């Protein structure tokens, strides 16, 4: 059965890809807020990241802060190579749905 | 971020320890990017988002797993491979529990509401007791601090004289430090205008004795206490933060203090500094007199005086010196003074624990509130326990079906436990909110009458016991009903249960116990309400209506112009100046009545000295009982004084008070011997200076113009109750005396209101408790009778079919409820009677065994029980015999 992505899951995964394929919760919240220009509940990002991990779309590990970052260990989430396929499939699904509706595009 | 620990504790049950720490750290990082105010708000908003989302996610979880790899795939997950099976079971349990609770909204709301209200209030009161009474005072080794005062041989207690404070310093083998102090007020020039501030005038060793290190700068040196020394001031932390934006560079700056410049020597941290001291030797702590400290600058001669009782004293014991040894040294000093000094012949030096002075008189009230709250908590727990038990009993058939479908007993117990845990955690979260609100309400009721109350907060320390209590309760509420339900299921199988006689008896005794405990609380509340009513109707001896008190600092000689102009204002009925308002704790002084010989070796009588101006008595409505008030109460006019009835009755039992001559040493000290004798012009009504619960002490009123005081009060009686007059008076003060601070205008009525803040606080809390108790008992009775009616529908049907009339049925139903209530009330009243001695000290004008209060309490309880039985009784009366016989 193919993986179906929820709307928020989809967006969180895309943001992680933009962050270079990995990152912890704080940059994800920040980037989402910047791109969508609205406040994002950190709790929503928290549960989504863990749900995606549960579903095998992400892996995570505790890692020390990178050079120049603040001083605590944090859980860093990584996008699995297979997940990129899931994202592509989701995009293709959307594209299929859009086919024939070109008149609506700006 | 403040509160991070609390947030971690809150999130831990939902996220686990490691994830909760991680999430809070994330939030702190995100909040750090916001402004200081927004950060706090954002942080808590984000914290609150977690529980709901985690629960929703948990419910969705099985679907996710199904969506990805199906149920079988669980074991192959990357994390938690061994635990996932139990996790899944747990999630299903939570899901069922949520649904089951949702199906029974009345039960869910009632249990969560009762638990949240009762534990929240309990935690709030516990926090107050903990932080007001149990935490050590914020001084270095506070146990070594003792306050010292004088005890007259007649048993009364009074303030120290400067000479006696000096005497204490001679005991330097016992005391490491001796501090003397008195209250002080001043006008402080700030960028925003002149403001009135309150603090203390203290001996140079004050801070060293208390063991306080300044936040910035330094404290007083011995030379600061010498007459003519450069003027210096030490700021309290709160004033420094409020008026100087917490700028450490304020040290060394010169400020305008009372019209003269003074150098800021340092800033001391917020604490419980003793500043004012009551005539009766108490140290009345208020948060509002901690603004500033100046050195006491008495002349050497005045430091030898043993006549003016104006100072408070605190001493620090040397290392290794015990309180008993210090008391011995004080007794020895007392003996020596009694021989050498006539003024100390009938006085003893006594010491008491400083902590006791600060929190002693609120300790009992707070502990009794805590005890009462404990009773309410027990009642609430019993009530919720009963609700869970009944619900468990009702679910016997559900459990039978589950067992038949293969659930194990352990699983049934777990199911019950999960439901109880959900209720307990929802209640704990509600309790945090209730607790915070309760503390805020308490702080607004008694803003400064309880030391340290304003700083009380609901911290993690209080939340931990709350969570522990919640967990223990969940265990109890889960296991016991499950066990009972399982047992009943074994006995009865899948037949629907009817409440057995044993069950009804159990429920009846639960209601009885509730009523018994509840009546104790209600008796307490009724007694306090009646006592407060007595307090309220006490005649204070003056009329506070439509009178305003303006605190004026720095106006100096211009005050007489001000009061003249104010009198001419439209809307002003009368105006006068006075050192303070009638309920202020003024200083006391000894006096001598000309022509009355005093027994050899006694120090002579003393009384409360009140310095007032012309028209004072008409303005505050104090009636004349003898003689005639002088037109002008002014030294320039004539050396006249006014005494109160208590002084007349004590010292002129045979009459002749008016016209007699009284000399007052304070006046002699200030103006020389020729200005110290006054002729009594009139006797006025007693005023209860120390509040309605204290009798009036002997007092004499002297013209304010005798005294060099740094500030005074303008009392204005308005012709109408509105506040229009305030602005007009302020304008006059500003025009006549620019720069003087008239920032505080208070209604005399508000001052009277504040005087009764503590008894009102006790009363309101107890009334709230009583309300909770009545509600809980009502719910208990409702549950009992309701169930009893349901289980007896068949029996009632038969009885009615056989011709029983409605009255019989109604009374039989009522009996079910009223029997345990009446028995409970009797037991409770007995217990209240036995405990009555405890509340004695909180009462005024009402006996703790006041029969009317007991009767009223029992009536309240019974009335609530009767109301609670109305609905079930009506239901019983509407039973259709044919229908109920057909059923089952």
Chain A residue closest in CA terms to B29: A26
Which residues of chain B register pLDDT less than 50?
A: 65-85, 494-497, 888
A53 and B79 within 8 Å at the Cβ level: the answer is yes
Q: What ranges in B552-629 are assigned the alpha helix state H?
A: 559-567, 616-620
Taking 60 as the threshold, does the pLDDT of residue A1 lie above it? no
* Chain B residues within 8 A of A30 when measuring between CB atoms: 30
The pLDDT, as a whole number, for residue B10 is: 82
- Cβ <8 Å between A44 and B57: no
Q: How far is B513 from chain A (nearest CA, A)?
A: 45
Give the length of chain B: 888
Under DSSP, is residue B437 helix (H, G, I), strand (E, B) or coil?
Answer: helix
Yes or no: say if B28 and B6 are a contact pair by the CB < 8 Å rule. Answer: no
Partner-chain contact A42 B23, CB within 8 Å: yes
Question: Residue B543 — left, alpha, or beta (φ > 0 → left; ψ -120 to 50 → alpha)?
Answer: beta
A28 Cβ under 8 Å from any chain B Cβ: no
Candidates B65, B68, B73, partner chain A, best to mutate (most A CBs within 10 A)? B68
What's the pTM value of the predicted model, to 2 decimals?
0.67
The partner residue sitting opposite A43, judged by closest CB among B25, B46, B65, is B46
Q: Which residues contact B44 (CB under 8 A, 6 or more apart)?
A: B3, B7
Backbone torsion region of residue B320, taken as left when φ is above 0, otherwise alpha when ψ lies between -120 and 50, otherwise beta? left
B477 near B424, Cβ under 8 Å? Answer: yes
Note whether B290 and B271 are within 8 A (CB).
Answer: yes
The alpha carbon dihedral of B875, B878, B881, B885 has a sign of negative
Identify the pLDDT of residue B240: 93
* pLDDT value of residue B84: 35
Which chain A positions have a beta carbon within 8 Å of B56's beta carbon?
47
Name every residue whose Cβ is closer than 8 Å to that of residue B852 and which is 6 or more positions away in sequence. Answer: B530
C-alpha B197/C-alpha B551 separation (Å) is 10
Residue to substitute from A43, A58, A63, interface B, most B β-carbons within 10 A: A43
B588 vs B767: CA distance, rounded Å:
38
Burial B389-408 (b: 16+ CB within 10 A, else e): bbbbbbbbbebbebbeeeee
Interface residue A44 vs chain B (CB under 8 A): yes
Min CA distance, B9 vs chain A (Å)?
A: 16
Burial level of B770, CB count in 10 A (0-12/13-18/19+)? Answer: buried
Residue ranges of E strands in B595-694 = 606-612, 624-627, 640-644, 661-663, 677-684
Point out the residue among B23, B29, B77 whose CB comes nearest to the CB of A54. B77
Distance from CA of A76 to the nearest CA of B (A): 11
Residue in B25, B65, B67 closest to A4 by CB: B67
E strands within B395-546?
none
Closest-CA residue of B relative to A75 is: B22
Dig out the tokens for B516 from the structure.
């018994």
- Is B26 close to A55, i.e. CB distance below 8 A? no
Contacts B68 to A, Cβ<8 Å: 1, 3, 55-56
Give the integer Cα–Cα distance in Å for B706 and B633: 10
How buried is residue B318: exposed, middle or buried, by Cβ count under 10 Å (0-12/13-18/19+)? middle
**Binary contact (B26, A24; C-beta < 8 A):** yes
Tokens matching residue B592: 């001598």
Are residues A56 and B26, on separate chains, in Cβ contact within 8 Å?
A: no
| Per-residue model confidence (pLDDT) at position B234 | 95
**Is any Cβ of chain B less than 8 angstroms from the Cβ of A3?**
yes
Find chain A residues with C-beta within 8 A of B29's C-beta: 26, 70
Task: Confirm or reject contact between A4 and chain B (CB < 8 A).
Answer: yes
Q: What is the DSSP string of B124-173?
A: HHHHHHIIIIISPPSSSSGGGEEEEEEEETTS-EEPBPHHHHHHHHT-TT
Contact B27 A4 (CB under 8 A): no
Query: Which residue of A9, A47, A62 to mutate against B (max B Cβ within 10 Å)?
Result: A47
Asked whether the beta carbons of A13 and A79 are under 8 A apart, the reply is yes
Contact A4 B30 (CB under 8 A): no
Is the CB of B53 less than 8 angstroms away from the CB of A46?
yes
Tokens of B885: 């016989």
Of B26, B69, B79, the CB nearest to A26: B26
Q: What residues contact B417, with CB distance under 8 A and at least 6 apart?
A: B474, B475, B478, B479, B482
Which residues of chain A are within 8 Å of residue B27 when distances are taken between CB atoms? 42
Q: Does A63 touch chain B (CB under 8 A)?
A: no
d(CA B606, CA B678): 15
Give the per-residue pLDDT at B456: 84
Chain B CB contacts of A78 under 8 Å are none
Question: What's the rounded Cα separation, in Å, for the pair B273 and B201?
Answer: 11
Neighbours of B81 (CB within 10 A): 11
Question: Would you mind telling me the total number of residues written for chain A in this entry?
Answer: 106
Pair B188, B256: CB distance under 8 Å:
yes
Residues of chain B with Cβ-Cβ distance to A24 below 8 Å are 26
Q: Do B54 and A43 touch (CB under 8 A)?
A: yes
Q: Which residue of B has its CA nearest to A74?
A: B22
Q: What's the CA dihedral at B851, B856, B858, B864 to 10 degrees?
A: 180
- Annotate B190-213 with DSSP letters as a single string: ETTEEEEEEEEEE-TTHHHHHT--
Separation CA B378–CA B517 (nearest Å)? 8
Buried/exposed B665-682: b ≥16 CB within 10 Å, e otherwise: bbbebeeeeeebbbebbb
Question: Distance (Å) from the C-alpha of residue A37 to the closest C-alpha of chain B?
Answer: 16
Phi/psi for B765 (5° steps) reads -65, -45
Residue-level pLDDT at B67 = 45
Q: B81 to chain A nearest CA, in Å? A: 11
Residues B664 and B700: beta-carbon distance below 8 Å: yes
């Amino acid at each position: 059965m193919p993986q179906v992505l929820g709307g928020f899951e989809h967006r969180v995964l895309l943001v992680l890809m933009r962050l270079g394929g990995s990152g912890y919760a704080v940059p994800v919240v920040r980037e989402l807020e910047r791109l969508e220009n609205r406040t994002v509940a950190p709790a929503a990002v928290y549960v989504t990241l863990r749900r995606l991990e549960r579903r095998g779309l992400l892996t995570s590990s505790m890692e020390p802060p990178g050079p120049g970052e603040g001083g605590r260990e944090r859980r860093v989430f990584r996008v699995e190579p297979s997940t990129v396929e899931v994202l592509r499939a989701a995009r293709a699904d959307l594209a299929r749905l859009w086919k024939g509706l070109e008149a609506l595009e700006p | 971020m403040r509160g991070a620990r609390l947030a971690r504790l809150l999130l831990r049950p939902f996220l686990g320890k490691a994830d909760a720490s991680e999430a809070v750290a994330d939030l702190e990082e995100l909040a750090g990017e916001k402004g200081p105010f927004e950060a706090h708000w954002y942080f808590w908003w984000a914290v609150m988002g977690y529980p709901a989302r985690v629960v929703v996610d948990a419910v969705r979880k099985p679907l996710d797993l199904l969506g990805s790899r199906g149920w079988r795939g669980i074991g192959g997950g990357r994390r938690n491979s061994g635990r996932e099976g139990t996790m899944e079971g747990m999630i299903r349990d939570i899901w069922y529990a949520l649904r089951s609770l949702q199906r029974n909204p009345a039960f869910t709301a009632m249990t969560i509401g009762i638990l949240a209200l009762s534990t929240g209030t309990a935690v709030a009161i516990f926090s107050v007791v903990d932080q007001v009474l149990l935490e050590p005072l914020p001084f270095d080794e506070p146990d070594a601090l003792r306050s010292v005062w004088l005890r007259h041989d007649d048993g009364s207690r009074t303030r120290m004289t400067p000479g006696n404070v000096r005497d204490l310093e001679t005991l330097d083998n016992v005391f490491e430090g001796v501090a003397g102090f008195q209250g002080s007020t001043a006008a402080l020039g700030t960028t925003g205008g002149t403001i009135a501030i309150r603090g203390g005038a203290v001996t140079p060793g004050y801070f060293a004795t208390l063991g306080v290190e300044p936040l910035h700068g330094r404290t007083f040196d011995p030379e600061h206490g010498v007459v003519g020394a450069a003027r210096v001031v030490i700021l309290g932390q709160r004033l420094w933060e409020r008026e100087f934006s917490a700028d450490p560079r304020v040290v060394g700056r010169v400020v305008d203090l009372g019209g003269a410049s003074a150098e800021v020597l340092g800033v001391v941290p917020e604490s419980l500094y003793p500043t004012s001291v009551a005539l009766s030797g108490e140290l009345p702590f208020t948060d509002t007199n901690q603004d500033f400290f100046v050195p006491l600058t008495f002349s050497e001669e005045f430091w030898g005086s043993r006549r003016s009782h104006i100072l408070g004293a605190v001493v620090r014991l040397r290392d290794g010196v015990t309180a008993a040894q210090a008391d011995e040294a004080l007794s020895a000093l007392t003996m020596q003074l009694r021989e050498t000094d006539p003024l100390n012949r009938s006085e003893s030096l006594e010491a008491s624990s400083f902590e006791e002075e600060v929190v002693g008189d609120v300790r009992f009230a707070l502990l009794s509130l805590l005890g009462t709250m404990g009773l309410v908590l027990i009642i609430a727990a019993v009530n919720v326990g009963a609700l869970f038990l009944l619900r468990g009993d009702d679910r016997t058939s559900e459990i039978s079906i589950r067992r038949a479908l293969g659930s194990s007993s352990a699983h049934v117990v777990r199911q019950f436990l999960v439901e109880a845990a959900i209720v307990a955690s929802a209640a704990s979260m509600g309790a945090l909110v209730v607790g915070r609100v309760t503390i805020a309400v308490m702080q607004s009721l008694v803003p400064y009458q309880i030391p340290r109350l304003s700083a009380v907060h609901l911290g993690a320390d209080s939340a931990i016991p709350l969570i522990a209590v919640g967990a223990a309760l969940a265990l109890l509420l889960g296991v016991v009903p499950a066990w009972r339900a399982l047992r009943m299921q074994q006995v009865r199988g899948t037949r629907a249960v009817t409440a057995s006689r044993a069950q009804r008896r159990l429920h009846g005794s639960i209601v009885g116990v509730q009523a018994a405990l509840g009546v104790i609380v209600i008796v307490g509340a009724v007694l306090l309400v009646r006592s407060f009513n007595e307090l309220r109707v006490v005649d204070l001896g003056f009329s506070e209506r439509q009178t305003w008190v303006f605190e004026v600092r720095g106006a100096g000689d211009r005050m007489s112009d001000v009061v003249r102009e104010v009198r001419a204002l439209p809307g002003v009925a009368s105006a006068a100046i006075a050192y303070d308002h009638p309920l202020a704790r003024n200083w006391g002084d000894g006096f001598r009545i000309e022509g009355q010989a005093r027994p050899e070796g006694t120090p002579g009588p003393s009384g409360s000295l009140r310095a007032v101006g012309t028209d004072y008595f008409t303005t505050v409505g104090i009636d004349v009982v003898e003689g005639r008030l002088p037109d002008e109460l002014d030294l320039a006019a004539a050396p006249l004084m006014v005494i109160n009835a208590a002084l007349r009755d004590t010292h002129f039992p045979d009459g002749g008070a008016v016209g007699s001559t009284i000399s007052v040493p304070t006046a002699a000290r200030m103006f020389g011997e020729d200005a110290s004798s006054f002729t009594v012009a009139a006797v006025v009504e007693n005023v209860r200076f120390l509040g309605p619960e204290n009798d009036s002490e002997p007092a004499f009123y002297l013209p304010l113009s005798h005294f060099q005081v740094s500030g005074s009060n303008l009392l204005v009686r308005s012709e109408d109750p509105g506040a229009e007059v305030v602005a007009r008076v302020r304008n006059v003060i500003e025009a006549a005396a620019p720069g003087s601070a008239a920032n505080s205008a208070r209604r005399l009525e508000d001052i009277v209101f504040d005087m009764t803040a503590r008894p009102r606080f006790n009363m309101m809390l107890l009334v709230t408790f009583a309300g909770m108790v009545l509600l809980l008992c009502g719910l208990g009775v409702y549950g009992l009778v309701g169930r009893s009616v349901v289980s007896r529908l068949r029996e009632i049907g038969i009885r009615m079919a056989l011709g029983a009339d409605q009255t019989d049925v109604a009374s039989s139903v009522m009996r079910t409820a009223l029997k345990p209530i009446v028995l409970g009330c009797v037991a409770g009243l007995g217990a209240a009677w036995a405990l009555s001695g405890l509340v004695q000290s909180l009462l005024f004008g009402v006996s703790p065994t006041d029969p009317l209060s007991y009767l009223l309490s029992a009536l309240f309880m019974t009335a609530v029980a009767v109301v609670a039985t109305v609905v079930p009784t009506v239901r019983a009366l509407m039973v259709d015999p044919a229908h109920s016989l057909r059923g089952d």
